[in-house]
Homo-oligomer: A and B are copies of this chain.
């Protein structure tokens, strides 16, 4: 599983839209706080593999492409660990 503490240092770009508290900074950006880590990992990997093209995928794909599996696990753990 990911390390939320390590994730804290990797969410700089994510926080612009998803907040450091995991609350979307605009309605179209999903809240991530308290979301299931397994789902967050699966969603980030889908963006990374180019398996999503609707909605904000155009913005998310390049973000996810820069992430390793470990980064994805840590970022997922960070947001899953937050109070919704």
The chain A residues found within 8 Å of chain B, CB to CB, are 24, 27-31, 33-39, 42-43, 45-47, 49, 51-57, 84
Determine the distance from Cα of A54 to Cα of B45 in the docked complex, in whole angstroms: 8
Q: Compute how far the CA of A39 lies from the CA of B26 in the bound complex, rounded to whole angstroms.
A: 10
- In angstroms, Cα B35 to Cα A84, docked, is 10
Q: Which of A28, A30, A43, A56 has the most CB of B within 10 A?
A: A30
Shortest distance between the CB of A26 and any CB in chain B (Å) = 8
When distances are taken between beta carbons in the complex, the residues of chain B under 8 Å from A55 are: 39, 42-43, 45-46, 51
Say whether A36 contacts B54, CB under 8 Å. no
User: B residues within 8 A CB of A51?
Assistant: 52-55, 57
